[in-house]
Each structure stands twice: as structure tokens, then as C-alpha cells.
Structure 1
Amino acid sequence: MDPGPSVPAAQASHLLSSFTTFLTLTLHTLLYHRGLYPATTFLTARALNLPVHQSRHPGLCTWINDAVSSVAAQLRKGTVRRIAIVMHAAKTFDVLERWVFDVETFPVGWGDREERNYNPVLVEGVDEEGGVNWTDVNEALRGALRRISHAAEMLSALPEGSTFTLAVELRDGASAPIGVTSATLDTLPTKPSTTNRHLFESRFGHWRPEHNANPLCPSWSSLL
């Protein structure tokens, strides 16, 4: 396994928080713009100084947060090569789209603790200890999210009933998490055996707008 560069633990932990926030925003953005759920089931907020769309369904928010936490655990170990948000056909699970993030050059060490109260969106300037320019980091993430949003809007609509999953490709030599098969992004088109995807379909596949009365997800008010 060829790990990425090493950075001071405190700065690495902050960078991981920044990226996982970005990944969460990206998931909500793609679900909205690719029409996997009705537009009326999303609210509009601001994050990274951009207008963003957030699902209001608590179950979907929980799924996304759990999935991103699982990815973060692997990133913290330095085992991830690529992350993909994959759109699947409703019944065949054929791959319709992949939104791939190459993270092979990410640091191998992200620090030993999670910065749960750290909000990277509110950090600006240069970190004197590690030399991290948080303004540049936030601008890069903002630009990436803006490009993803624009690209997703321009694509033709997905077939009705399409679903999605979050996939991770590990670095060479990295062991798969316990209970997870060693499928890679290259084998994903042939009905990937991801229990998370099937669980997601059974919970949310037939969700309809009339469920709008459900309580809202925790909002991104801290990112406004």
C-alpha cells in the first residue's frame, strides 16, 4: 500500500472534517439535481457560502451520515484510493452514473481523534502550526461543489425509480473492513453485492412526497 503524505495530526483531523462535510453536501446535492427524490422533499440552506439543497427525510439523512462516517473511518486509516457515488437502475442495478473522487494522495494519518465540534466552513486564514491555508481549502471545496452541482443539472434525467450507493475502492494491499466483500469499482456494474444498497432500497425506494410531514433532518444551520 502506497500511503499519501503525512501531515500534523491536528491539521489532518481538520482536513478530514472538511472533506467529510464536502462529501455529505455532495450526496445531498446529487440526490436533488439528479431527481432521485422529489424537489419538494428538500430544503434550501447555505454551506461553503453556496446555496445548497438538503433532504428533509430523517431516515435518508441518517443513511447518508452513517455512510459518510464509514468512509471517514477508512480515510482515517489511509486505506482509500477512490470514493464513488454511483447511480443504479431500479431493478437491474446496472450502473447509470459514477461520480468519482480520487483520494489516493490524501494523508496517511488523519489524527487519532475526531473533531466532532469542528466546523471547517467557519475557519479562514492560515494555520500557523501546520501552514494550512483554510481559505484555499474552502475555496477549493466550494469550487468543486459548484462544478458538481452545475454538471448534475445539465445531465439528462435518470430513469424513474433509480437508486444510488456509496462505494469505496481501497489502496493496493489494504484489507477490506470486516463483513465487506472485496468488490472494486471495476466490478460494480454487475449487480454489486452491497447490503447497504439493498437496505437503502427497502427503506426508501417507495418513499413518496406525502411523507413531508415527517420531522426534518437536523439542519446545517451551523454552516450558514
Structure 2
Amino acid sequence: MERRENQTPQGQIARVLVEFLEVAITCVVFLKGVYPSGAFERRRYMNVVVQRACHPQLRYYIHATVSGLLPFIQKGLVERVAVIFFNADDIPLEKFIFKLAMNLSYGSSVEEVDLQFSLRSFMSKLSVSESLTKKLPPDCRWEITAYFRSIPEAGTSKEADLWISTDTKQWQQPPLITPIKSMSSEPLCLQLYLEHPCVSESLF
């Protein structure tokens, strides 16, 4: 991937991160078996074999949703991006959480090769994490949800107007957390972990 001139380190990091999230979220959906395996095709990303959605609407939903986060990630407004799987009653069964923090004061240039190398390890770890997840019922659905550190003001930009408050039901007890992978560097910290309802309210 070439480096773009006149781009701030934050813009550079955000662009690479958004591209990574699009691929990673597609792999999460493939991993959970929500769609037939034929709905995906094998591709290489960062020299790792990944899955790419074949269905235009599925591919567009993931791409458009994650791409819409770019200006907010660049400004440090996005705290978490979650892939949430629900049962027929719209109660969350499982959440894949990408928690991110970017140093907005970081002024040095970013080597994209180094950043991609760190992110590549997430793809490798994610591909073998199925044993950590729960089996989903056949009538489940899923969505991508972003959690903001502060709410973008409607009307300030067309990107802000695209996002609406979520009505996702919350678990009554703190969730069970299973770490999958984390990285910590000067410009970017990223964690990937699973959240499940505690045993007392588990619906599996």
C-alpha cells in the first residue's frame, strides 16, 4: 500500500484501520456461519488468507458502515466497533469488540508496513478463534455498532447524519470477556475480545 502525500499520521492510521476493520468484520461473519460458505470467496490481505463477501448487499453493508467511521476514527471519537449477534427477540448473544485508541498528538510519520504487520496478527488469531465462540441459533441476526466517546452533532457533517442512536438491548449483568488479541504502540492501541452474557442470563 502506497503512502499518500500530505496526510497526517492520524489520517494515515485511520485509513489503514478502516480497511482492516472491513476485512476483519467480514471474517467474523464468515466465522460465525451466518451465511453459507459459498457467500464468501478466499482472498489474500496483508499476505494472509481471508474471506471476502460475494453478495453485493452484504459486501456493501460492511464497506459502507465501516467507511462511514473514517472521519470519526481520525478525530479519535470512536472508542469501540462491535459486531453483535442477536436472537429472534433482539437480545444480544455474542459481541466481537474492536476497542481502539489513537494518539491524536502523535506527529511522526507512520510506517504502514509496521502497522500492517501488527494488524496482520489479528487476522491470524481471529481465523483460529472459533472454539472461543458460542453456537448461534438458526434465526439469529447481526449488525455493526459503533460506540463513540462523544456523540457527533447532527447537521455538522453528512457523515454524522448517517449515524443513529442504537436501541440494542443491554445485558443486566457485566458480560463475560474473552480476549483474542491486542496490540499497543505509540500511535495506535487495539484490542479484540469477545463479550458473552454471564451464566445467570445466558440464553444459549
TM-score, normalization: structure 2? Answer: 0.68
Q: CA separation in 1, counterparts of 2:134 and 2:95?
A: 14
Matched-pair contact (CA < 8 Å) for 1:43–1:54: yes
Of 169, 172, 186, 1:189 maps to: 169
Highest RCO, 1 vs 2 (Cα 8 Å, sep ≥ 6) = 1
Find the counterpart in structure 2 of residue 96 from structure 1. Answer: 93
SS at 2:137 equivalent: coil
Matches within 5 A, 1:8-87: 9-87=7-85
What's the offset of the Cα at 1:61?
0.8
Q: CA separation in 1, counterparts of 2:97 and 2:153?
A: 21
Matched-pair contact (CA < 8 Å) for 1:77–1:109: no
Find the counterpart in structure 1 of residue 140 from structure 2. Answer: 162
What's the offset of the Cα at 1:17?
1.6
Of 89, 102, 105, 1:106 maps to: 102
What's the offset of the Cα at 1:174?
5.0
Letter in 1 for 2:161: I
1:179–1:50 distance in 2 versus 1, CA, 3 Å: closer
Find the counterpart in structure 2 of residue 178 from structure 1. Answer: 161
Q: CA separation in 1, counterparts of 2:43 and 2:131?
A: 18
Matched, 1:133 2:130: no
Q: CA separation in 1, counterparts of 2:169 and 2:133?
A: 20
Moved over 6 A (4+): none
Find the counterpart in structure 1 of residue 189 from structure 2. Answer: none
CA RMSD of aligned residues (A): 2.8
Letter in 2 for 1:158: L
Q: CA separation in 2, counterparts of 1:161 and 1:102?
A: 28
Deviates more, 1:134-143 or 1:171-180: 171-180
1:180–1:55 distance in 2 versus 1, CA, 3 Å: closer
What are structure 2's unaligned runs of at least 5 residues? 1-5, 155-159, 172-204
Letter in 2 for 1:67: T
What are structure 1's unaligned runs of at least 5 residues? 1-7, 111-128, 192-224
What's the offset of the Cα at 1:42?
1.1
Return the structure number with greater strand share: 2
What's the offset of the Cα at 1:18?
0.9
**In the TM superposition, what whole-angstrom CA distance separates every residue of 1:127-151 from its partner, at most 9, and x where no partner exists?**
xx93423332112100112212221
What's the offset of the Cα at 1:10?
3.2
Q: CA separation in 1, counterparts of 2:86 and 2:94?
A: 7
